[in-house]
Chain A
């Protein structure tokens, strides 16, 4: 069964450093997403990406965040200058494109990258 993969599984960084989290979405999917989950809290949407551009983003996704599809398989989330409050589990997800406007584009999640900012 195809699945979303993410690397690394755990990233430890110093406050102020840049980090890049990597994801390989399911191969025939065209919509990609990043979510985060702070320990003990609910999963929160960050950004969605389609056709090489951001299609939607949340208030959390400010100027310190960026996303990129550098090649045909990878999808990355960059945090430019990490803060202590960025410590969380970051999940990548993907879904099929649905051009009919239907609503059930089920999103499938990767195993996550645990980011710890010291």
Chain B
């Protein structure tokens, strides 16, 4: 069973669109949650941590539903520069290792 599951996409959206990505995780002991973005052949870059109450950073909003073991990322007013793969990442209680999903690819088109 996959530990962190994401729809691989691609999501092709026009500039200015709102797009949402979802992610599910299998371990109920997971403690910390993050969204990273990864450009082609580059390193993962931290986009935002995901807090229990949900949090927003500019055009990006993250939500966590512990009961359903579900995390989401909403991007408003998509820019061309948002084109990337978005990685859902989970850290379990008492561990340092990050567990990555396979990523959801976003392509924003002019």
A residues at B contact (CB < 8 Å): 31, 33, 35, 41-45, 48, 50, 55-56, 58, 89, 91, 103-112, 114
Contacts and interface: CB of A to CB of B under 8 A. Distances in A.
Given A43-B44, A43-B87, A112-B43, A105 B96 contact: yes
Nearest to B44: A109
10 contacts: A31-B96, A43-B87, A50-B96, A55-B96, A56-B96, A104-B32, A107-B98, A109-B45, A110-B43, A114-B41
Contacts of B87: 42-43
B49 interface: yes
Given A103-B32, A103-B91, A106-B34, A45 B99 contact: yes
Interface of A is mostly: strand
A42 B103 contact: yes
Nearest to B38: A43
A89 B100 CA distance: 15
Interface of B is mostly: strand
B43 A91 contact: yes
A94 B105 CA distance: 25
B31 interface: yes
A89 B38 CA distance: 13
Given A33-B96, A42-B101, A56-B97, A106 B46 contact: yes
A56 B98 CA distance: 11
A55 B22 CA distance: 31
B42 interface: yes
A42 B98 contact: no
Question: Which of B43, B46, B95 has the largest count of A CB atoms less than 10 A from its CB?
Answer: B43
